[in-house]
């Protein structure tokens, strides 16, 4: 079976009602990254950071997968599909995709604040201050903050290097190392990008599909299933 690798960003979940980061009215317009998404923010004000991610988790649990998440699952009938997502939501999994790599963690799990590899399921929507990991440190959201290591990046790079076809969906390609993954995809491999606002950084002989995800993804999936 041919291998399809899909790299997704916040844009694929936008039509499920989850805000992107850098669009007008995106999350980073309302918050400073330095106040909520860095180890320093956690040192300074853990309650605020915990509350920020508790609110994000609540929105994720209320959201539902959309036509783009569902369409990707259909590709599995004919291809070996790996989805590498920068998203911390679980909408690919709830849509039915079976092989999803989370580069930036997943908000439905908690993480030890002293050892990132210790993660746990969460009961309900909230991590409370005072809830501790097995080492006795406060639990936080299982997300990768700016300035932290991205433990899955090498696995993701390896997956990209073996792609027979590569699809980018709904990412501004503004954040590294994720944005550099496309450089691991062999030059001759066919590449597509689905985004209503194609980022200039993608400019490497990519087939551009300037549509919203719920329109563009089902369209491309139908084409690939018909081939
Ligand atoms: N369908 C497809 N793409 C869309 C849609 C839509 N309906 N709406 C917006 N987009 C596109 C935007 O045009 C933009 O290119 O989604 C992209 C969103 O970009 P960002 O907000 O920068 O999100 P992302 O690329 O996922 O951010 C990367 O930055 O802060 C972080 O860790 C966070 O994983 C995140 C990383």
What's the predicted TM-score (pTM) here? 0.97
Do 124 and 82 lie in a common domain?
A: no
Residues 99, 171, single domain; the answer is yes
Same structural domain, 7 and 113: no
112 lines ligand 1 (CB under 6 A): no
Confidence of residue 204 (pLDDT cuts 50, 70, 90): low
Cα–ligand 1 centroid distance for 11 (angstroms): 4
Q: Please say which residue of 143, 164, 193 terminates a domain.
A: 143
Whether the per-residue pLDDT at 224 is higher than 80: the answer is yes
Task: Check whether residue 88 and residue 10 sit in a common domain.
Answer: yes
Yes or no: say if 119 and 109 are a contact pair by the CB < 8 Å rule.
Answer: yes
Average pLDDT of the chain is 96
> How many CA atoms, within 13 angstroms, populate the side-chain half-sphere of residue 9?
26
State residue 199's pLDDT score.
Answer: 86
Q: 171 in ligand 1 pocket by Cβ < 6 Å?
A: yes
pLDDT number for residue 202: 64
**177: nearest Cα among 139, 147, 150:** 150
Is 40:46 a contact under the CB 8 Å cutoff?
A: no
CATH code: domain of residue 198: 3.40.50.1220
Q: How many domains does the chain have?
A: 2
Please give the residue range of the domain that contains residue 209: 1-18+66-104+150-227
**Residues 133-186 pLDDT 10s:** 999 999 999 999 999 999 999 999 999 999 999 999 999 999 999 999 999 999
Does one domain contain both 117 and 79? Answer: no
């Amino acid at each position: 079976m041919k291998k399809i690798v899909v790299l997704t960003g916040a844009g694929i979940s936008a039509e499920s009602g989850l805000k992107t980061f850098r669009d007008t009215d995106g999350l980073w317009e309302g918050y400073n990254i330095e106040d909520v998404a860095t180890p320093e923010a956690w040192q300074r004000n853990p309650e605020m950071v915990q509350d920020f991610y508790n609110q994000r988790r609540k929105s994720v649990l209320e959201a539902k997968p959309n036509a783009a998440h569902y369409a990707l699952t259909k590709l599995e009938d004919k291809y070996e599909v790996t989805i590498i997502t920068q998203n911390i939501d679980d909408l690919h999994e709830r849509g039915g995709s079976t092989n999803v790599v989370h580069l930036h963690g997943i908000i439905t799990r908690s993480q030890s604040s002293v050892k990132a590899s210790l993660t746990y399921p969460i009961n309900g929507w909230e991590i409370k201050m005072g809830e501790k990991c097995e080492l006795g440190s406060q639990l936080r959201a299982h997300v990768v903050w700016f300035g932290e290591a991205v433990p899955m990046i090498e696995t993701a790079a390896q997956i990209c290097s073996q792609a027979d076809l590569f699809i980018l969906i709904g990412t501004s390609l503004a954040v590294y190392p994720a944005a550099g993954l496309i450089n691991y995809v062999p030059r001759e491999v066919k590449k597509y990008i689905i985004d209503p606002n194609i980022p200039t950084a993608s400019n490497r002989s990519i087939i551009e599909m300037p549509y919203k995800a719920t329109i563009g993804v089902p369209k491309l999936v139908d084409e690939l299933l018909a081939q």
